[in-house]
Amino acid sequence: MPVNLPEVYIGKDAISALQAFIKLKNFTAFTLVTDENEYEALGREVETAIRKIDRSLRTIVLPGKATPDETYLIQVLLEPDERRRVYLGVGSGTLTDIVRFCSHRAGMPFISLPTAASVDGFASTGCALTIQKYKQTIMAAAPVGIFADLDTLTHAPRPLIASGFGDMFGKYTALADWPISYHIAGEAFSQELADRSRRALQTCVDQVPVLHDQWETAMHKLMEGLVEEGICMLLQGNSRPASGAEHVISHYWEMKLAREDRPPVFHGAKVGLAAILVARYYELLRQISREEALERLQAARMPSAEDEVARIRSVFGPVAELILAVQQKALQQTPEQFARMCHMIGDSWDLIQQFATAVPTSAEIKDLLVKVGGATHPSQLGLTDTDVHEALEYGLYLRRYFTILNLGRILSIPKPEGVF
């Protein structure tokens, strides 16, 4: 099935480009969704631009700083209006996900107007939403256009920019997890998209040494890289070109913070910090010889479905049934299937080591984060040692796909210690 890619424009005259696009598509009516902060950053300017070309417009300014949960989704979905309107999402990742979901439910296209180069999901179809304090990705639709105003991007808050870089640095570990899952668990894999994702990552990494001297160029390249990652996800049909163990760890933290009514943390900040942990896991993996791996695989035992169900219920409480649904296939694994998986790991050991070698050390990822102003210690994000330990232990239950967390469990690799 052919994939419709969004029109993408990143530059100083993005608003003019938006107006031209609207005329080209003959869109006549719009719903602009933003929050109080983003309205001042760009929303008011977009509002003026739409009215200048004589289009019907209604504006929804969500109170405070929007979060991707049912409270804000309902405010948009229940806003009464008889006209069918194209949605305009003005904001960073959270606003984009809210608008993506609501426009999809309304059966209408949407246009994304990012205010910060903060996440990689602008071009994708997935909405990262927290429903009943459970973080889940709900598939919706990609935007028909992405118009990023460079002046707005360059003046975005530094923590949001650090978040964008953190999300990109997470690709180092995601792009090792994905091919390993292909060889071990038979997951669909595209070398073309993996290469494309890695090129986008490298483009962003190349901006780190020149970040402060060439700020505007760096913001342009960072935004390009983030959009490109979203397009890779769009073409693959899921998040795997850009998401691995670092994301499930981040999702666990996000759920725990929400469940305990603790302040939320930018997505990319959590992903960058998690990438340090996952990179350390890969360091430990690289230390295991083929002979030692075979010994560990011989000793590996499949956890019983009963024990896994009890563990999930104990850890996840009110959302356990949702987690169990995600893990349904894994819970139905037979001893014979587990033995075949262990055999595949042994047979693929050289390949696994090849993928592991491509992951930078935890110290190298930490250094990149320091240079962009990202968090390199859990305490900087309000996270505790317990939060870190639990995410490493239980994060693997949040997604269906196979990552280093699953491999580490089979091989009895100890949890990373002393990383921070």
pLDDT digits (tens, 9 = 90+) for 1-33: 678 899 999 999 999 999 999 999 999 999 999
Residue 76 has pLDDT above 90, yes or no: no
Q: Give the mean pLDDT of 294-305.
A: 96
Encode burial over 213-223: b for 16+ CB neighbours within 10 A, e otherwise: eeeeebbbbbb
pLDDT exceeding 90 applies to what percent of the chain? 85
pLDDT at 311 over 80: yes
Per-residue model confidence as pLDDT tens digits over 386-396 = 999 999 999 99
Comparing CA positions, the residue from 90, 65, 87, 60 lying closest to residue 75 is: 60
What pLDDT does 40 receive?
A: 94
Residues 152, 42: contact at Cβ < 8 Å?
yes
> What fold does the segment set 7-156 form as a domain?
Rossmann fold (3.40.50)
- The structure tokens listed for 92 are 């960073």
Query: CATH code for 163-189+240-410?
Result: 1.20.1090
- Give the pLDDT score at 73: 87
**DSSP-assigned letters across all residues of 173-229:** HHHHHHHHHHHHH-----HHHHHHHHHHHHHHHTTTTTTTTSHHHHHHHHHHHHHHH
- Taking only the tens place, the pLDDT of each residue in 129-147 is 877 777 778 888 899 999 9
**Contact criterion met (CB below 8 Å) for 143 and 291:** no
Mean pLDDT of 347-366: 98
* Per-residue buried b or exposed e for 66-103, using 16+ beta carbons within 10 Å of the residue's own CB: bbbbeebbebbeeeeeeeebbbbbbbbbbbbbbbbbbb
Gap between the Cα atoms of 177 and 401, Å rounded: 9
Instruction: Look at residues 26, 25, 34, 30 and name the one whose alpha carbon lies nearest to residue 4.
Output: 25
DSSP states along 219-256: HHHHHHHHHHHHHHHHHHTSSTTT-SHHHHHHHHHHHH
Over residues 168-227, the pLDDT tens digits come to: 999 999 999 999 999 999 999 999 999 999 999 999 999 999 999 999 999 999 999 999
pLDDT of residue 408: 97
Q: What are phi and psi of 196, to 5 degrees?
A: -65, -40
pLDDT at residue 313 greater than cutoff 80: yes
Cα 84–Cα 86–Cα 91 angle in degrees, nearest 5: 140
Average model confidence (pLDDT) for the chain? Answer: 94
For 83-94, write each residue's pLDDT tens digit: 789 999 999 888
Spell out the domain ranges in the chain: 7-156, 163-189+240-410
Percent of the chain with pLDDT over 70: 99
In 3-state terms the chain splits into helix, strand, coil percentages (rounded to 5) of: 60, 10, 30
Q: What are 159's two structure tokens?
A: 């923590």
What would the pLDDT profile of 101-132 be if each residue is shown by its tens digit? 999 988 999 999 999 999 998 999 988 887 77
CA–CA dist 394, 130 (Å, integer): 18
User: Hey, what are 204's tokens?
Assistant: 């962003």
Residue 136 phi, psi dihedral angles, 5° rounding: -145, 155
Res 272: pLDDT? 98
Cα distances from 365 to residues 159, 278, 371, in angstroms, run 17, 10, 10
Backbone angles phi, psi at 77, to 5 degrees: -65, -30
> Taking residues 291-319, what's their average pLDDT?
96
For residue 80, what pLDDT is reported? 64
Phi-psi region of 257 (alpha: psi -120 to 50; beta: other; left: phi over 0): alpha
Burial 340-357 (b: 16+ CB within 10 A, else e): ebbebbeebbeebbebbe
Indicate if the pLDDT at residue 82 is higher than 70.
no
Q: Can you tell me the mean pLDDT for 366-379?
A: 98
End-to-end CA distance of the chain: 45
Q: What's the pLDDT tens digit per position in 374-416?
A: 999 999 999 999 999 999 999 999 999 999 999 999 999 999 8
Amino acid at 264: P
- What whole-number distance in Å separates Cα of residue 397 and Cα of residue 393? 9
pLDDT of residue 50: 97
Q: Is 130 helix (H, G, I), strand (E, B) or coil?
A: strand
Q: What are the strands of the beta sheet with 56-62, ordered from one edge?
A: 7-11, 145-149, 110-113, 86-90, 29-35, 56-62
Q: Report whether 297 contacts 410 (CB < 8 A).
A: yes
Pairwise CA distance, residues 169 & 35, whole Å: 28
Please state the rounded mean pLDDT for residues 151-164: 96
